[in-house]
Amino acid sequence: MAKVFFKTDNVTHEVEDGTPLMDFCEELDVSLSFGCTEGTCGVCEVTVIKGRENLSRITEEEKDYLLEEDLEDGMRLGCQVKIRKGDITLKWKKVKG
């Protein structure tokens, strides 16, 4: 099992290793939003504060969409991320409305 801490909403959730982030965000009441789900709109941008190594590898879509320095700062596209294992902490900008 892996443990994800959604810092923005102060919610912690345990999931099976290998679960896509998007799969359980909808069920949980977290404010992270998704749009295209294909890595092209950027609505799902998250910053990985802890546990970058516990997530799936950066996809081509993320390399296309995000800037090099954003990737270095731990930014990811939530729709592209799978939880691999261990502890992970995420935050994101809350969108109003």
Name the residues that contact ligand FES, by CB under 6 A. Answer: 34-37, 39-44, 77-79
Given the complex with ligand FES, which of 2 and 66 has the nearer CB atom? 66
Least gap, CB of 7 to ligand FES (angstroms): 19
- Three-class DSSP labels, 47-89: EEEECHHHECCCCHHHHHHCCHHHHHCCEEEHHHCEECCEEEE
Least gap, CB of 15 to ligand FES (angstroms): 18
Type of residue at 53:
E
Q: Which residue is nearest to ligand FES (CB)?
A: 79
Question: How far is the C-alpha of 73 from the C-alpha of 48, rounded, in Å?
Answer: 8
Given the complex with ligand FES, which of 12 and 40 has the nearer CB atom? 40
Type of residue at 63:
K
Least gap, CB of 25 to ligand FES (angstroms): 11
